[in-house]
Structure 1
């Protein structure tokens, strides 16, 4: 072994398991040092340089939690993983909150152990910067805190719950966590849970065999196996029906899936990130979301602030978005008038960054290509009220007044168009799911899309 050979510290009070771990590491061409208790582990960490620590939870003179706390204070850049008793998910979850990047259950499966070690050493070599970071615009205090949290979360393999309002950029945060972590060379698979019909969910998530049901004309791997080795991002996870929540929980705990119509299970190694604009705690308390799944997914929470809480970031976001759009359209980047920028900075943006992007895309279409003025923005003059009005409105709806110069019919069409676009954006332009979200039939939505000239020729979803 050379000086560059990764060095792993193994901490376990059981001599047999300690020896097994050291032998396995040796076969992986890694240098291993063993410690039999907490005191010995602290001494070795203080006097040597290690790239990874693998520790049991019971150490005779202390616990793995105490060692994790020591590591976070004295060796914050070194990844650590824990060995737990079989089925003890509470301990594993707690260890991740204390800084462990992952865990393995007894009896230790050697293939799982090798994967755990490879993941940890990948964390040791994680680069400090990713191109995705350049797309996370903002220097407001809330954004600076989020960026710092994301860098820490990227080192872990713990499930992350990303909370935030619709349009605030939750998927962008998920992609950044993935791109900064050891799985960055593996797939990132994103799925909107609210856009999948209930009867097709099991097949979409876990796959199916050819002929398993009507329409299954070929084998399908499913999202879990497509994301194997990488990250699976479950957007709008609160929209999962209860029966699917049970199956999802089992797949996460067992790290295996069984395709529909298949007799055997397939092992999967992936990281789960999830997000929703709903309050998962409230969904759980009201019986719409399983408590055990909530605690399994919500090991660590990352909150994405709404745009109205970081309005000082709007000018830099405007510059970034206009530069990106102009490059895509092959035009010169227009300037934004002082009045237009002032309007943008004082608008509440209930649709957050997504609404800002839509507003600027519309303004870029309406302006002369040189200057974007206030009238090109077409922002509503009134801010959203604190509480939604009574009636069939969603949480992002707002009370607006009709501009005196705008005919009533055009005003109503603008409202209809806005709500339809919100539903389509939320479902990634799955028109069946959007119609359900809007409380109308697919045929009715299709008619309105044609009427409002929103029908996309390249749309393949129904």
Structure 2
């Protein structure tokens, strides 16, 4: 360890406190101890450590409850949870809540050292500069996320960005990249839900055309192309099981073997992932590997929906308008106050992306320099009839198609999968994605 840092240990097992305290002091840390969550909070009123290590199971206030209390008063202070009850459920709860790490007792020395080093890096002075200029906010909910992002941006760790569709997950990923030491290297985006499995495999891991060292060799996979930089995996929950296993190996070994090659290539990529779906549920249904989840979810950034940050809506609307003005040289200069009030009160199921779409429509339809409340109200009232995005149209087609083939085969999944040109496993995944039950079509042929 190159710096002396203060760590607060919290555990109702006094003997463990003494043993772990001795170990950490021998590593050069300053250590304080508390035998309960209440005692820890009282100590934190007077002191600021760089890290809190807390037991999960404690009488009175458990480790997760302590973490939540800490985050209210000490935003960004990393907390690592320890427990002798090393179940997946505990790990999921701790990770989902946003704690920095999870250690199982008896605590492995190397795992402890690695976790502490990563946590202390979060506590170091944050990246300076105009790193978040694209992430406009006045919202306390969003400010807390940005504070966490500010601390983890310089670290070479994986981040899972969650939040509803349209909340700005890709923009957050690019912001993390721009604020990292990798900012002068490639930033690549790969959508795991928009490609067939063979094409996704080639796009992610690369492939070979011709001889390995010949002029026709092609290693265009994202893990290779993005070397030195950052790779964002959008809709990571859609990654097929076989490719999940390949990705886990590539991340663990820091190398990848392109399809058709006898040689592996070293990788040096920071992997960020994004999803709007419930990853914990995906693991429970065995659709996503638990070990890969924890590899990708070293830190979770959970973006709030736009309706949870209404104070940001006028700010974002004006920002989008200014961007459009610079791009299109329009004569539209602003919003009427009543128009902004209408925007702030709208539900925004499509989040920031929907707001941007509305501003673009308003600018195109405006007949005066100021966008009126009447114009905004008209667009909002017709929002449910807006032209769908490509992903929305594709999803609707899939639902209609699946219903059609199931009606034709009276719910026979094997026959339906054959008509669709898919294997049974892929077909069941499609049904699950759209919430369709094959049994409901029994005896209901066309």
Q: TM-score, normalised to structure 2's length?
A: 0.61
Kept in 2, the 8 Å contact 1:126–1:180? The answer is no
Answering whether residue 182 of structure 2 is matched by residue 183 of structure 1, we say yes
| 1:216-255 equivalent positions in 2, closer than 5 A | 219-255=218-254
1:438–1:223 Cα change, 3 Å:
farther
Kept in 2, the 8 Å contact 1:420–1:438? The answer is no
1:362–1:42 Cα change, 3 Å:
same
1:285–1:124 Cα change, 3 Å:
closer
Residue 171 of structure 1, CA deviation? 0.8
Partner of 1:281: 280
Kept in 1, the 8 Å contact 2:127–2:151? The answer is no
The count of corresponding residues between Structure 1 and Structure 2 is 317
Kept in 2, the 8 Å contact 1:207–1:223? The answer is yes
1:260–1:125 Cα change, 3 Å:
farther
Partner of 2:85: none
The CA RMSD measured in Å over matched residues stands at: 4.1
Structure-2 separation of matches of 1:226 and 1:234? 14
Partner of 1:42: 28
Answering whether residue 355 of structure 2 is matched by residue 356 of structure 1, we say yes
For residues 325-348 of structure 1, give each alpha carbon's deviation from its aligned partner in whole angstroms, at most 9, with x where no partner exists: 110112344221223212111110
Structure-2 separation of matches of 1:202 and 1:436? 25
Kept in 2, the 8 Å contact 1:333–1:370? The answer is yes
1:348–1:70 Cα change, 3 Å:
closer
1:344–1:255 Cα change, 3 Å:
same
2:392 to 417, 420, 423: 423
Residue 223 of structure 1, CA deviation? 0.1
For residues 204-226 of structure 1, give each alpha carbon's deviation from its aligned partner in whole angstroms, at most 9, with x where no partner exists: 111111149xxx97513310011
1:438–1:168 Cα change, 3 Å:
farther
For residues 257-281 of structure 1, give each alpha carbon's deviation from its aligned partner in whole angstroms, at most 9, with x where no partner exists: 0001110111111111101111111
Structure-1 separation of matches of 2:311 and 2:171? 20
Partner of 1:169: 168
1:346–1:331 Cα change, 3 Å:
same
1:97–1:338 Cα change, 3 Å:
closer
Classify the secondary structure of the residue corresponding to 1:181.
coil
1:97 to 97, 100, 103: 100
Kept in 2, the 8 Å contact 1:166–1:351? The answer is yes
1:380–1:315 Cα change, 3 Å:
closer
Partner of 2:133: 134
Structure-1 separation of matches of 2:355 and 2:288? 32
Residue 374 of structure 1, CA deviation? 2.9
Residue 142 of structure 1, CA deviation? 0.3
Structure-2 separation of matches of 1:324 and 1:305? 23
Structure-2 separation of matches of 1:435 and 1:263? 42
Classify the secondary structure of the residue corresponding to 1:182.
coil
Q: TM-score, normalised to structure 1's length?
A: 0.59
Structure-1 separation of matches of 2:179 and 2:389? 35
Structure-2 separation of matches of 1:233 and 1:211? 29
Partner of 1:264: 263
Partner of 1:371: 370
Structure-1 separation of matches of 2:216 and 2:255? 24
For residues 18-72 of structure 1, give each alpha carbon's deviation from its aligned partner in whole angstroms, at most 9, with x where no partner exists: xxxxxxxxxxxxxxxxxxx7545427x99xxxxxxxxxxxxxxxxxxxxxx9754
Residue 287 of structure 1, CA deviation? 2.0
1:422–1:137 Cα change, 3 Å:
farther
Kept in 2, the 8 Å contact 1:154–1:178? The answer is yes
Classify the secondary structure of the residue corresponding to 1:302.
strand
1:196–1:332 Cα change, 3 Å:
same
Kept in 1, the 8 Å contact 2:163–2:302? The answer is yes
1:125–1:220 Cα change, 3 Å:
farther
